[in-house]
Amino acid sequence: MNKQKILIVDDTPSNLVALEEILLTIDAEIITASNGQEAVREALKHNFDIIIIDIQMPDMSGFESIEYIRKEQKNRHIPVIFQSAVFTDEISKVKGVTAGGIDFITKPILSEELLRGKIKLLLELQRQTQELQITKLALEKKQRELEQANFQLKQMAFFDSLTGLPNRYAFTNQLSMEIARARREKQMLALLFMDLEKFKYINDTYGHRVGDEVLIEASNIFEKTIRNGDVLARLGGDEFIISLHNIQSVENAERVAAKINRAFEKILNIHNIAIRLTVSIGISFFPQDGQNDEELIRNSDMAMYKAKTTMSNSYALYNRELHKQSLNRLYMENGLSTALKNREFKLCYQPIVNSDKKIYGVETLIRWHSPDRGVIPPSEFIPVLENNRSIIEVTEWIITQACLQNVYWEKSGRHPLITTINLSAYQFQDPNLIPFLQGIIQKTQVNPRNIEIEITESTSMKDVDKSIEVLRELKKLQLKIAIDDFGTGFSSLNYLAQFPVDILKIDKSFTDQILNNSHVLDIIITIINLAKKLNMKIIAEGVENREQFDLLSHYGCDFIQGYYISEPLNEAAIDKYLLKHACI
């Protein structure tokens, strides 16, 4: 620490000398001034810890000098000791003017010891004050740093660092305030939930740098389509959300959504990669679709899902129906998780006959006997199973049961009977499919020629080359193959020729129309003829009456399936049925 400094001021040189002598033993630098002006100059130059000043001086009195000196901010609190031979009333006056840190001593100095003691004390006080000051400054600096850090934390807590948009936290906070206001002022709010399609694919294919750029670009596009006062936020990943204030009608929100979809109808150039972005938008409204931020966001998300599964680059509105569906789904997920273990699945078999009504085979159809909701059809629970991946376990059970049943029929002396088994799209794409089936064939000792695998047309058309490969593998296992729901999956007939397929099952929607729509009948006749050329057989599904049966038989349809022949029958009932009816 620097040496402390004392300024002594007196116009009588001998007084200065005397004072200096008294202070000799004090560890401080002494600076002298012989008049007020000099004192002021010195006080400007140095930082004094104490000033000892004579009151009576020519031109500028001690009081005046101190008043001057203390005008300087840094000198405001220097302790001052006034010296005088005589004290007048003036002293009390000045005491009132100059705040604090003043003392008075008489000349000549009576007790040198007392003065030294006083000065030492003041110096110590000054030292401590200065130390405190330094600590205070350091504290203030720390405080500022903390505030800065706090601000940054806040930024991070409220804003997405990539796009600079508000994040989910900030958005939901604001949304709940907006909802409160909309409720008060009886206004309508809309939420647009947006999800970039294929973003994951772009990110995986081109890397994060491109992915990040795409997100920024998308946020720019969103930003351009909204008005002042609407709030755009990034919820995370490739999900964005917009809240539209005080909208007048549902159509207004739809217009904004359509505008966003349109804005995405252009090719982006990102790091020289041409990227076509598309976006799925789900819309929910306050107050119709939810009462709080959570409900509204969840329901707009659900609507987004609907948009995504219906059409690329489109929007959809939330509605209660959708909500019911998802509750239903949740309910089913719970029930299905234990259904297999609890033996709630049962198989039905529906006969398939030729034009002489002789039995060609049976189609295996699954039923779920839910303990609290009764029999649930496969169209409702198979998609849920597929989503859960538990479809693998369940399919293993179905195929094993169906094969064992076929073995039983064969052993009990009934004629070679075909058992057809439906394979879900998910299963068909499973790379393990072939060993999986091989395992079941071995385990059950079924004759694979008796088993016909049904794959829907839309499944087989998803990736044609891959399908051909899988179908060939299936054929190697000597299984029969049928294309299910034929006519609904936009088959290109070119591909059909390459598919190693035994059977086409004409979809029920065609059967339904053959009697009153000649155009449909023409199509069926064409398919039948085409199948003949390709060496495939035809099954018509959903035949419900004699007229349909006769017409289809007349045009050379090989096999018929439908309520007209029989509904799907449980194990006991199909057994009886097979005893009563002849096989081919």
Residues found near ligand C2E in the complex (CB under 6 A): 350, 364-366, 377-379, 382, 398, 422-424, 484-485, 541-544, 561-563, 568
Question: 553 is in the binding site of which of ligand C2E, Ca ion, none (Cβ under 5 to 8 A by kind)?
Answer: none
398 contact choice in Ca ion, ligand C2E, none (CB below 5 to 8 Å, kind-dependent): ligand C2E
- Nearer to ligand C2E by C-beta: 237 or 377? 377
Question: Least CB distance from residue 504 to Ca ion, whole Å?
Answer: 11
H or E segment and range at residue 182? helix 168-184
Residue 509 tokens read as: 């929607």
- Per-position x/- string for 529-558, each x denoting binding to Ca ion as judged by CB under 5 A, each - no binding: ------------x-----------------
The closest alpha carbon to 43, from 15, 20, 77, belongs to 77
User: Using the rule CB under 5 A, which residue among 11, 454, 457, 558 binds Ca ion?
Assistant: 454
The count of C-alpha atoms lying within 13 angstroms of the C-alpha of 506, restricted to the half-sphere facing its C-beta, is 32
Q: Is 172 or 419 the residue whose CB approaches ligand C2E more closely?
A: 419
Q: Which is nearer to ligand C2E, 378 or 489 (CB)?
A: 378
Instruction: Give the single-character DSSP code of 266.
Output: S
CB of 405 to Ca ion, least distance (A): 16
| Among 257, 255, 232, 230, residue whose Cα is nearest residue 245 | 230
What minimum distance in Å lies between the beta carbon of 398 and ligand C2E? 5
- Rounded Cα distance between 447 and 247, Å, is 66
Shortest spacing between CB 410 and ligand C2E, in angstroms: 21
C-alpha span between 476 and 148 (Å, rounded): 71
Q: Which of 328, 509 has the CB closer to Ca ion?
A: 509
CB nearer ligand C2E, residue 281 or residue 366: 366
Query: Encoding tokens for residue 409?
Result: 């029929």
Looking at the Cβ atoms of 4 and 450, the one nearer to ligand C2E is 450
Residues 307 to 336 in contact with Ca ion, rule: CB under 5 A: none
Report the partner that residue 416 touches, choosing among ligand C2E, Ca ion, none (CB closer than 5 to 8 A by kind).
none
In the complex with ligand C2E, the residue whose CB is nearer, 398 or 417, is 398
Six-digit token pair at 276?
């076509």
Among Ca ion, ligand C2E, none, partner that 544 touches (CB below 5 to 8 angstroms by kind): ligand C2E
The site partner of 213 among Ca ion, ligand C2E, none (C-beta below 5 to 8 Å per kind) is: none
User: Which of 430, 485, 433 lies closest to 457 in space, CA to CA?
Assistant: 485
The CB density around residue 461, as the number of other CB atoms within 10 Å, is: 17
Query: In the complex with Ca ion, which residue's Cβ is closer, 126 or 406?
Result: 406
Chain-centre distance for alpha carbon 8: 74
Q: Residue 424 binds which one of Ca ion, ligand C2E, none, with CB within 5 to 8 A depending on kind?
A: ligand C2E
C-alpha span between 365 and 492 (Å, rounded): 28
CA gap 312, 142 in Å, rounded: 54
Binders of Ca ion among residues 391 to 450 (CB under 5 A) are: 422
Q: Enter the tokens of residue 111.
A: 């007790």
**CB under 5 to 8 A by kind: which of Ca ion, ligand C2E, none does 542 bind?**
ligand C2E
- Closest contact distance (angstroms) between CB of 561 and ligand C2E is 6
Q: Which is nearer to Ca ion, 55 or 348 (CB)?
A: 348
Give yes or no for residue 457 binding Ca ion (CB under 5 A): no
Answer yes or no: are the C-beta atoms of 226 and 174 closer than 8 Å. Answer: no
**Minimum Å distance from CB 521 to ligand C2E?**
18
Rounded to an integer, what distance in angstroms lies between the CA atom of residue 548 and that of residue 186?
59
CB of 530 to ligand C2E, least distance (A): 21
Residue 460 and residue 488 in contact, taking contact as beta carbons nearer than 8 Å = no
- Rounded least distance, CB 423 to ligand C2E, Å: 6
What number of CA atoms fall less than 13 Å from residue 429's CA on the CB side? 14
Pick the binder of Ca ion from 423, 485, 543, 552 (CB under 5 A). Answer: 485
- Is the CB of 463 or the CB of 567 nearer to ligand C2E? 567
- Locus of tokens 């998803």: 462
| Residues 235/168, Cβ–Cβ less than 8 Å | yes
* Whole-angstrom Cα Rg for the chain: 47
Report the alpha-carbon distance of residue 583 to residue 418 in Å, rounded.
10
Q: Which does 382 bind (CB under 5 to 8 A by kind): Ca ion, ligand C2E, none?
A: ligand C2E
Cα 206 from Cα 523, distance rounded (Å)? 45
Binding site for Ca ion (CB under 5 A): 422, 454, 484-485, 541
